[in-house]
Amino acid sequence: MGTTETDGRKLKIHASLCDMRGATEEKLRRYGRVEVAAAAVVTTPAVQALLSRHAVDISAAGVLELPDGEDVRLELQNGAVHFGAASRPPARPSALVVNGLLAAEAGAEAALAGYRAILVNGALRCPESVAAAIRGQLTVNGAVQAYPDGAVLLSPTFIVDGTFALRARAALYYAAQRIVLLDPAADPAALREKGVRFETREALLARSLAAEAAPLLGDAARITVLPDGCAFLDGDATLDAALLHRHGGRLYVNGDLTAGPDAAALLPRVEYLRVNGDVWLPPALFEPFAAVDATYGALRRRPGRRLRELPQAYVDAALLARSPDGVALEDCLTVELAADIPPETIERQLTFSGCGRVVCTREQAAAVAMVSEAAGMIGPCDAAGEDGGMDGANTVNAVSYAF
């Protein structure tokens, strides 16, 4: 709440980076309220004190506070950015903001140490020595993958096969998530003789290979022993005839498993099933599926249609008529429902998971809430509200915005 007189207007800022170091009493006095939604916001101690005296709402993944009175250039990187031994420090005082992955190799300490501050909204991946060297200037909102110095970096989920065994050398290999060793051609005994070691969080080992493979792993690795002949599927999968023909009836799915149209006839052929996600089935298969040797996250009703990760989705009666088994909307930014869809139809045919906003009538809102999980805003888009643009607000949409 402000202590100075304003003209009542509202300023809304939507940006990847919002630099508020230039905020002044005069600028803030122009607005009754300032709303900032950004991946990163940059301030100073003096600006923080100024903002506390005004109606300023900040929603940010990370806030970077720089010293007062210093001319520090901001460097914004959206996506993945890589620093290596040949990278150079900035030529002038700078701060680095990364919305994504910051990957640093051995020898990158000098370049990174040249930044006054580093803010990462996403993930940091680097050797342990690099992480230690930049700890004082680093803020990470997300995962830190600090791997042992000198390790050979593998993909986060790495499948050890016969080809790897041929090329492997005496070294420590690092996989951020898991090592999968199910192929007898990988020959863990031969890998031990070569001096191969693995550092990872989790290891999936075939039963007949486990005794030889376990000594290859660091003490922190969680070991899961799978039956011989089990196939590893990295990602979502559909239970259909093609899947079983190619991989057999022993499956480890690193994702979601969705029943195909012929799943009812195929369930007796599934001998072993581990799903590192959810299983999507039509209700008629819930009981038969209980007889399967299966471990999974959650059992969910399979919709006839899944709409995923869309910036905007529109649901009307025609879409529902074409989807008698229902529609699941997952991780969509905005979903708009046609006003003529009855609440009982919403409860019967729709599910929402992780959607930022569901625009619907007041009569539909309760039904939407009943079939929603981790949803943001649910309700109408009022003509006099935020989306209508009738509230006198000055809205700024930009990659980078500075006061």
312-333: pLDDT as tens digits: 899 999 999 998 888 999 999 8
**Residue at token pair 């994504």:** 100
- Confidence bin at 379 (pLDDT 50/70/90): confident
Q: What percent of the chain has pLDDT over 70?
A: 95
Residue 387 located in a structural domain: no
Instruction: Quote the pLDDT of residue 8.
Output: 63
**Whether residues 214 and 156 fall in one domain:** yes
Residue 255 located in a structural domain: yes
Backbone angles phi, psi at 287, to 5 degrees: -70, -50
Instruction: Quote the pLDDT of residue 3.
Output: 44
Residue 367 located in a structural domain: yes
Q: How far apart are CA 393 and CA 22, in angstroms?
A: 21
**Whether residues 58 and 95 fall in one domain:** no
Residue 366 located in a structural domain: yes
**Whether residues 102 and 133 fall in one domain:** yes
Residue 5 located in a structural domain: no
- Confidence bin at 2 (pLDDT 50/70/90): very low
Instruction: Quote the pLDDT of residue 394.
Output: 84
Residues 6+ away with beta carbon under 8 Å from 98? 77, 81, 118, 119, 120, 121, 122
Task: Say if pTM beats, i.e. exceeds, 0.85.
Answer: no
Residue 41 has pLDDT above 60, yes or no: yes
Which of 101, 129, 147 corresponds to the end of one domain? 147
Which of 198, 226, 254 corresponds to the end of one domain? 226
Residue 46: strand, helix, or coil = helix
Q: How far apart are CA 343 and CA 106, in angstroms?
A: 58
**Whether residues 51 and 79 fall in one domain:** no
Where is average pLDDT lowest: 125-139, 224-238, 339-353, 383-397? 383-397
pLDDT, tens digit (0-9, with 9 covering 90-100), for 239-284? 999 999 999 999 999 999 999 989 999 999 999 999 999 999 987 8
**Whether residues 222 and 246 fall in one domain:** no
Average pLDDT over residues 119-147: 92
Q: Report the chain's mean pLDDT, rounded to a whole number.
A: 90
pLDDT, tens digit (0-9, with 9 covering 90-100), for 199-208? 999 999 999 9
Instruction: Quote the pLDDT of residue 390.
Output: 40
**Whether residues 198 and 221 fall in one domain:** yes
Instruction: Quote the pLDDT of residue 392.
Output: 56
Residues 6+ away with beta carbon under 8 Å from 305? 319, 322, 323, 325, 326, 327, 328
Higher pLDDT, 62 or 265: 265
Q: Which domain holds residue 37?
A: 10-70
How many structural domains are present in the chain? 5
Higher pLDDT, 202 or 306: 202
Residue 216 located in a structural domain: yes
Q: Tokens for 183, please give them.
A: 């192929």
- Confidence bin at 7 (pLDDT 50/70/90): low
pLDDT, tens digit (0-9, with 9 covering 90-100), for 334-367? 899 999 999 999 999 999 998 988 999 999 999 9
Residue 391 located in a structural domain: no
Long-range contacts of 367-371 (CB under 8 A, 24+ apart): 367/343, 368/337, 371/346, 371/347
Instruction: Quote the pLDDT of residue 382.
Output: 52
Which of 32, 48, 70 corresponds to the end of one domain? 70
Average pLDDT over residues 194-202: 97
Residue 133 located in a structural domain: yes
Instruction: Quote the pLDDT of residue 101.
Output: 94
Q: Quote the Cα angle for 153-155-160, to 5°.
A: 95
Residue 65 has pLDDT above 80, yes or no: yes
**Whether residues 219 and 265 fall in one domain:** no
Residue 59 has pLDDT above 80, yes or no: yes
**Whether residues 329 and 369 fall in one domain:** yes
Neighbour-count burial of 171, counting CB atoms closer than 10 A to its CB (0-12 exposed, 13-18 middle, 19+ buried): middle
Do 210 and 224 form a contact (C-beta atoms < 8 A)? Answer: no
Distances, alpha carbon 150 to alpha carbons 105, 107, 170, 176, 347, in Å: 10, 11, 12, 15, 55
Half-sphere exposure in the Cβ direction for 126 (13 Å, CA): 29
